[in-house]
Structure 1
Amino acid sequence: MLQESFLRTLDLPVADRFEAWTQQLGRTHAPMELASDRAADYRGHQRVIGLGDVTVWPATFDHLVFRRTPKLVRRSDPEAFHLSLLLRGEGEAVWGRQQAAYGIRDFHVNCSSRSYDITTGPDPVTIVGVEIPRTLVALPAGQADRAIGRRISGREGTGALLAQFLVQLAADTNPYRPSDAPRLGTVVADLVTAVFAHAVDDDLRLPPETHDRTLFLRVRAFIHRHLADPDLTPARIAAAHHISRSHLYRLFQTEDVSVAAYVRDRRLANARRDLADPALSTTPVHAVAARWGFPRAPEFTRAFRTAYGLPPGEFRRQARFADTQTCGRPAK
């Protein structure tokens, strides 16, 4: 599991909640002046997921006004870009004479080196925020800065790839090891570079390694959408992305895994998750296997035993027993 920290203001005395939230966001991004019409009893929850030099922070919070003044910029500048993917609520931002309003699945982009005012709507908002050092965005500084203040869609193109990655990561960090953190941070940095490049200039030439990284993420997203198809072969994956099989193999070589092994491992991981899910306890093992691209039960059993050390039926029984023991344990 990745290293995480969190703050939930409801765990604090009412009088301390807004000040704790202000300090938390100052540490997460950069020092800011915050105000809210809910400050007397502020409700906010934030998780902070460390990915090496990159930080991802899912959060839900009450109405808030963020103000980063020129004085605060001079006092402390971590020199980082910030992106917020808005999942619920609404917001608007002002940079001098520049203004932008944001809706669901829009990205807001700002930078700790600039002053700004951001105001959320009256209802609570849910976002997935990203903090990334300016040095990790592989574009000339002047070009990267042109992305600041733009409303970037997370519903299509490279924005959708970044949004999908962030939402999936925020939903469940359990499948990842601590050693995965810097590699995931590199994925975020490459996607942010691609999103910025597309936003400021459709014709901007990206470094070849960034093109390959973005293509790899597109391929991976395609694989995840088609895991249930037992005919998901390297030839089909390559054809869907208009590349040769040798190009596809090279993409996965940089990840130290073969295409077939990646597909198999993702299928097994999803099947394992479903077998441990109490809500699916009446679904036959062979049906779970077929759901994730294993139409032949013996093949699934062999692959599952090899990966996890026991057959799927036994794994389900142990998971059910562990869940029963946990549910019966008194709360601390």
Structure 2
Amino acid sequence: MDLSSEYAADYHAHQRTLQLGAMTVWPSTLQPLLSRRTAKLVRFSDPGTYNLTLVLEGTARARWDDREAEYRPYDLHGQNSWRPCTVQVGRNDQIVRCVGVEIPRDLVALPRGSADRAISRPLSAREGVGALLAGFLTRLSADTSGYRATDGPRLGAVLSDLVSALFAHALDSDRELSPEARRRTLILSVRSFIGRNLHDPDLTPSLVAAAHNISTSHLYRLFQDENVTVGALIRRERLERARRDLADPAQHGVPVHEIAARWGFTHHSAFTRAFRAAHGTSPSDYRQARRHPAPSTADQVM
């Protein structure tokens, strides 16, 4: 790429590179920048990749062939490495935050012609599969401390499935996805739906299945290899959200029953039993212990 900027004399940018197997994710914060991928540069080097950029803050404008498009927060700019393109990132001293993805074309679970058509279409990260992809990218790039190097290829497989699903959705051709890609994308969608609706006391496997236009038995089969049932996943996630709130110093004044109700527990006694089974103590005692930790052995000796 040929890069230029009116701020070149004192240019500021920050970029990290996350390697997920054969895929690359690069969170960036940068000043306005003009990027040109010319036909000459394509001939010089073509890695054979599809590239997506999720805009989080600021704007960008792209030109390719006879088309032009503007991108705002939670739009996705799609490009491939064999097509010349010019992208203006930011304007008027505007700081731009974005997350880029580079995926080898062989890892997209669609015929190449289909993927080429999809990446040329408007792609949104505000709803549907695009929102799933945006949530995955923002969480991944916000904090990688909990991951090991061996997690990289697994996360890359999830990411390639999401990109493939997004392309298929843009073409309205989910049938072109491989069965395994469809299964993993559906599991991610189910988990995301559960996370957004934990507050609803009526959240049940039947409701989750209906929201995804599948039968309850299909939903159960989907999670057979996940080492957790859908009902247990809902209960586990509710308990974890409640545990975080109980441990939060800013919420010490919120009654325990209100925290339980916030996360879908309609009966305080049922919440107390479930919490004790999961953590070996009652919600009130857990909160008290977090407020006043037991002194360490060293403290006792001193």
| TM-score between the two structures when normalised by the length of structure 2 | 0.81
Conserved? CA contact 1:238–1:248, under 8 Å: yes
Partner amino acid, structure 2, of 1:162: L
Q: Mean alpha-carbon deviation: is it higher for 198-207 or for 79-88?
A: 198-207
What's the counterpart of residue 126 of structure 1? 97
What's the counterpart of residue 108 of structure 1? 77
Among 283, 289, 293, the alignment partner of 2:260 is 289
Among 38, 42, 54, the alignment partner of 1:85 is 54
Is 1:35 the counterpart of 2:30? The answer is no
Larger radius of gyration: 2
2:159 and 2:83 mapped to 1: Cα distance? 22
Conserved? CA contact 1:82–1:131, under 8 Å: yes
What's the counterpart of residue 126 of structure 2? 155
2:14 and 2:156 mapped to 1: Cα distance? 23
Structure 2 CA distance for partners of 1:112 and 1:275, relative to 1, 3 Å: farther
2:292 and 2:89 mapped to 1: Cα distance? 45
Among 210, 221, 229, the alignment partner of 2:192 is 221
What's the counterpart of residue 237 of structure 1? 208
The equivalences for 1:158-177 within 5 A come to 158-171=129-142
Q: Aligned to 1:82, what secondary structure does the other structure show?
A: strand
Structure 1 portions without partners, runs of 5+? 1-31, 323-332
2:292 and 2:66 mapped to 1: Cα distance? 61
Partner amino acid, structure 1, of 2:213: H
Q: Aligned to 1:139, what secondary structure does the other structure show?
A: coil
1:172-213 per-residue CA deviation (whole Å, 9 max, x = no partner) reads 556766655443332221121121123245476332333333
1:316 and 1:73 mapped to 2: Cα distance? 60
Partner amino acid, structure 1, of 2:166: V
Among 161, 170, 175, the alignment partner of 1:199 is 170
1:82-110 per-residue CA deviation (whole Å, 9 max, x = no partner) reads 11112222111223434322223211011
Is 1:280 the counterpart of 2:251? The answer is yes
Q: Aligned to 1:37, what secondary structure does the other structure show?
A: coil
1:262 and 1:169 mapped to 2: Cα distance? 21
2:277 and 2:287 mapped to 1: Cα distance? 16
Conserved? CA contact 1:95–1:149, under 8 Å: no
Structure 2 portions without partners, runs of 5+? 294-302
What's the counterpart of residue 223 of structure 2? 252
Among 142, 145, 154, the alignment partner of 2:116 is 145
What's the counterpart of residue 60 of structure 1? 29
Conserved? CA contact 2:165–2:174, under 8 Å: no
Q: Aligned to 1:254, what secondary structure does the other structure show?
A: coil
Q: Aligned to 1:272, what secondary structure does the other structure show?
A: helix
Partner amino acid, structure 2, of 1:133: P
1:132 and 1:314 mapped to 2: Cα distance? 49
Q: Mean alpha-carbon deviation: is it higher for 203-212 or for 237-246?
A: 203-212
Q: Mean alpha-carbon deviation: is it higher for 73-82 or for 214-223?
A: 73-82
Conserved? CA contact 1:101–1:151, under 8 Å: no
Structure 2 CA distance for partners of 1:313 and 1:174, relative to 1, 3 Å: farther
Q: Aligned to 1:242, what secondary structure does the other structure show?
A: coil
Structure 2 CA distance for partners of 1:53 and 1:255, relative to 1, 3 Å: farther
Residue-pair matches, total: 291
2:289 and 2:3 mapped to 1: Cα distance? 49
Conserved? CA contact 1:56–1:129, under 8 Å: yes
What's the counterpart of residue 189 of structure 1? 160
1:87 and 1:73 mapped to 2: Cα distance? 28
Identity %: 56
2:206 and 2:194 mapped to 1: Cα distance? 12
Conserved? CA contact 1:91–1:121, under 8 Å: yes
CA RMSD of aligned residues (A): 3.0
Partner amino acid, structure 2, of 1:291: R
| TM-score between the two structures when normalised by the length of structure 1 | 0.74
Partner amino acid, structure 2, of 1:55: T
Conserved? CA contact 1:51–1:181, under 8 Å: yes
How much has 1:168 moved relative to structure 2?
A: 4.2
1:96 and 1:236 mapped to 2: Cα distance? 46
